[in-house]
Amino acid sequence: MKYISSQKLRELKKELEKHKTVLRQQIAERIQEAQTQGDVTENAEYAEAKEAQAFNEGRIMELENLINNAVVVPRKRKKDAVQIGSQIVVKDKKGKKFKFTIIGSEDANPIEGKISNESPLGQAFLGQKQGDEIQVQTPKGKIKYKIMRIK
């Protein structure tokens, strides 16, 4: 089960449609063109087109699986505890404040403060309440955060 935003789900569906229609057609045309050039056993263009076809079909399967198993993060949620979709403000032991949004791994972008529910930091925040303190092991060592606000 993968948690994703409704926007990301729309993006994935659009990408899937492109792979199923436009890219499939383009690859089929490349294969057909390569076949008209004679013996396909020594035809590099044919081999490349077949490789592109395999990659495209693999991506289609991956996208279909992701879409079929996706759980869209609800826009409205309780604010009494951190959950997927929560926006939180935390403070480290030095008093520096950080804003994080807990989201599914497909939407994660740590630079923007969007952290995955599957990451160590995301897992540590889940279920916690305003005022709770957590400690997380990171590559730089243990870091403590206090949850100041949950939106």
89, β-bridge pairs? 99, 149
Residues 143 and 99 in one domain: yes
Residues 18 and 49 in one domain: yes
Residues 65 and 22 in one domain: yes
Residue in the block written with tokens 């826009």? 75
What is the reported pLDDT for 77?
67
Q: Please report whether residue 98 resides in a domain.
A: yes
Residue in the block written with tokens 């590099």? 44
Is 101 in contact with 89 (CB distance < 8 Å)? no
Q: Please report whether residue 95 resides in a domain.
A: yes
Counting the structural domains of the chain, the total is 2
What is the reported pLDDT for 107?
87
Q: Please report whether residue 25 resides in a domain.
A: yes
Helix runs in 1-151, H state only: 6-18, 24-35, 44-68, 120-125
Q: Tens-digit pLDDT profile for the chain (151 aa)?
A: 788 888 889 999 999 999 999 999 999 999 999 888 877 778 889 999 999 999 999 999 999 999 999 888 877 666 789 999 899 999 998 999 999 999 988 889 989 999 999 999 999 999 999 999 999 988 888 999 999 999 8
Dihedral-angle region of residue 38 (phi above 0 means left; psi in -120 to 50 means alpha; beta otherwise): left
Q: Please report whether residue 80 resides in a domain.
A: no
Q: What residue numbers bound the domain in which 138 lies?
A: 87-150
